[in-house]
Amino acid sequence: MRLSVIGTGYLGATHAACMAELGHDVVGIDSDSAKVDSLIAGRVPFFEPGLPEVLQRNLAAGRLRFSTDPADAADAQVHFVCVGTPQKASAYGADLTQIWAAVDALAPHLRQPTLVAGKSTVPVGTAAEMTARFQAAAPAGADVHVAWNPEFLREGHAVADTLHPDRLVAGVTDPVDEARLREVYAALLAEGTPWLVTDLPTAELVKVSANAFLATKISFINAMSEVCEATGADVVTLSKALGMDPRIGEQFLRAGLGFGGGCLPKDIRAFMARAGELGVDQALTFLREVDEINLRRRRRTVDLAREAVGGRFRDRQVAVWGAAFKPNSDDVRDSPALDVAAAIYTEGGEVVVHDPRAMDNARESFPHLAYADSPQEAVAGADVVLLLTEWRDYLDIDPHTIAAAMRDRVVVDARNALDLSLWRAAGFTYRGLGRPGA
């Protein structure tokens, strides 16, 4: 099929390359010419394991193109809208500027009956408004239908999540639109991927409520962390025991510094804002608590680090391992790690940050912090080392090899990911979140 993908960020670049991998003829459209040039040259402008290979293979096969000109999308049979929906600058709601810009850019080029399938995470009701805007702006005869086909990919696993998803959700208003989407995903459906067909608002809600549930699960275990800290209990064992109950499940139950990134934090806030507009704000007030528990873990990590260096950061050197919001990503949007690093810097600490992949993005957002080229260089002369993003690289470091380089041997494991007995054996004082006795 001929497909277009509007917006080529994390979601759009992955979707475009993976749809070409399924054999479709795909054009990716983005107004950012630097991004488009990079993709044309076979370079993914962010770190995503496996994506460069898929991109290059499909560019070479001639199935994948990129352009800044929306006219190049004109003859696509399905247009996927994958633009960003960030948090508004000074409110909780989602900023839909890019969604409406995509509608305005695409509408004049639509000539035949067309299906536009939204994939971006949006406030419920956006698809209906999009339909109205397309109908007003597209030329007569275009007959634009809108469907909603939310995306559940995780950064760091984007290719596998797109090519082998847990489920495909199609919000449609017409059986013809469902048939067209089935054709797009025929290869995945043949593999047995569950296919759920529903209306537009349900499809929009599936995505935000999935992210709200995941955020709630993380904050639940982090709330238990606070109780563990008050009682001497160990949240790591608690989490393991809870996760063994199949009704609860072990995933997203890792206690620690909490969630960040470009999705969960802004999605729960946008969901609360939308609920307020719909008059059901009470239904989601618990998400405010989810957000607050999450942010409290960042402050608790700063407190633990301060205690570890004797009560104040002035004249103390703090090594920070990890800047990305999670491992296997170079994304530093709302990164808990950088939030903690910046808070310690503000209190007068000398902060030296290392990350295997996110150094450039971290430097751009926090130019005043110091950066080291290796985890070993970051700890040289440090009074404490903080593990803030649990990259494999850090878990594999033998603490014996860094102990001598540090001024004091203290580690704060804010992801509860290090081998506690190994670090103790190397002479370190170990502090974890929710593990007062550890």
Residue 152 or 195 having the CB closest to ligand UGA: 152
**Rounded least distance, CB 261 to ligand UGA, Å:** 4
- Does residue 362 interact with ligand UGA by CB under 6 A? no
163-167: long-range contacts (C-beta < 8 A, 24 or more apart)? 163/18, 163/21, 163/22, 163/188, 164/188, 164/191, 164/193, 165/193, 166/193, 166/194, 167/193, 167/194, 167/195, 167/196
- Rounded Cα distance between 202 and 39, Å, is 34
Helix axes of 264-278 and 285-308: crossing angle, nearest 10 degrees: 150
Residue 58 or 328 having the CB closest to ligand UGA: 328
Residue 194 CB-half CA count within 13 A: 4
**Rounded least distance, CB 114 to ligand UGA, Å:** 25
User: Hey, how many other C-beta atoms are within 10 angstroms of the C-beta on 242?
Assistant: 17
Token readout for 423 is 């670090």
- Rounded Cα distance between 6 and 66, Å, is 10
DSSP 8-state class, residue 86: P
- Does residue 296 interact with ligand UGA by CB under 6 A? no
**Rounded least distance, CB 339 to ligand UGA, Å:** 11
- Does residue 325 interact with ligand UGA by CB under 6 A? yes
Report the residue from 253, 273, 275, 433 that binds ligand UGA according to the rule CB under 6 A. Answer: 253
Enumerate the active-site residues: 263
- Does residue 20 interact with ligand UGA by CB under 6 A? no
Residue 316 or 326 having the CB closest to ligand UGA: 326
Report the residue from 12, 171, 261, 434 that binds ligand UGA according to the rule CB under 6 A. Answer: 261
Number of residues that bind ligand UGA (CB under 6 A): 21
Residue 205 or 406 having the CB closest to ligand UGA: 205
- Pick the stretch among 40-48, 147-155, 404-412, 419-427 that binds ligand UGA (CB under 6 A): 147-155
- Does residue 155 interact with ligand UGA by CB under 6 A? yes
Strand locations in 338-389 (E)? 350-354, 370-371, 384-387
Binding stretches for ligand UGA (CB under 6 A): 121, 151-155, 211, 214, 218, 252-254, 256, 258-261, 263-264, 325-326
